[in-house]
Structure 1
Amino acid sequence: MSDHELARTNVILAELLGDQGCPWTKAQTHESLAQYAVEEAYELAEAIASGNSDDIREELGDLWLQVAYHSAIAEDFDSNDVAHTLNEKLIRRHPHVFGQTTVQDAAEVADAWDQIKAEEKSSRTDPFEGVSPKLPPLLMAAKTRWRGRDQKPIPPVSVAVAELVDVVNKLAQDPEMLTPECLGQALGALVTLGVSADIDPDMALRKHTATYQQEVRERYKAQHSS
């Protein structure tokens, strides 16, 4: 999308929010629009899992609409302020590109990012401040492990596998042990394994589910085509 098209979005929204604009568009607030930002983010994740480039492009546009829309109805900032805040953050958190800091690999970049972010949020009294309770449980579990790793380090993959195997073996020996608490422990062990291997558990499950759905659809079509 060119700068012209980005500016065009703001012009269109200004028209929709104008005196002769759309009643529904003009009636919305940050609060009423919040659910749509969440929905669009999920739909983007689904498109990414499917691997369809056209769908990804469309869903990115829908998500951009949420940014532009919130900026258009805000009283104390606009889309340029949002972009400025983002740009300053990107520069500040990449001193190895825009400053004199040197890093060896992506892992060091991630560590430096976390350190800079921690310094910016030094006033936090809770390590999980900012982790929304409205996040999907799988995503929240992964983010919680990342946030809490200073107090409880993320184990190596081998240790995470051992923890998961231990839980599964207990269930295999006595299936009646399967309770909500035990299942939560098993799912938690899977999340820990994913985080230990630097794999997003939420995206991994989305891709697996998309594959499962496709397999079921194909079997369904085969059964009903004869």
Structure 2
Amino acid sequence: MRVLIAEDERMLADSIAEGLRAEALAVDVVYDGDAALERLSVNDYDVLVLDRDLPVVHGDDVCRSVAGSGASVRVLMLTASAAVPARVEGLSLGADDYLVKPFAFEELVARVRALGRRSRPADPPMLERSGVRLDPARREVYRDGRYVPLTRKEFGVLAELLRAAGTVVSAEDLLEKVWDEHIDPFTNTVRVTLMKLRRKLGEPALIETVPGAGYRIR
């Protein structure tokens, strides 16, 4: 899942990003509304965590733009106001959910994941194929009953391949969904991550390379 955080309190924004990355999400961060609109125009995000009181372009205007664009990104609006009229107004602008500051990080994660499920067809409780079982909630992977410890990126790559249900996923799509915007598009990090993932999953080989196209689960 790929998330954009638009929050002008830099320490808060960076803290949220660090926490979501620890949850195996790909996260980009901007600190004003104009930068948020620019990122949204060039990247496909599943969830936008949007501070309502952004500088340059107000969060309300960002929300209106997203709602009017027809984009599939879901909007979680952050605000300091807990008043019911403020919440109603935020939702009427096109936000999908609303969270009042200060908030518990665990609740933020739960709301982001719930919105992410709504931005695409819902995942089953477990992703399973060819003897591999991946639990998105617990972030656990088993192959033929054997626990497989994975890094966050290895877990993210395997989840995307399992979601594809045997169809080919390109390296570019894996970069888009698992890494953030700071990754070099010409890097070999996808190939290296897949090499390590294959080694951990063991034999028989599970992940197939399709020359010139990408990767798939056999």
Structure 2 length-normalised TM: 0.27
Structure (1 or 2) with the larger CA radius of gyration: 1
More helix by share: 1
More strand by share: 2
Structure 1 length-normalised TM: 0.26
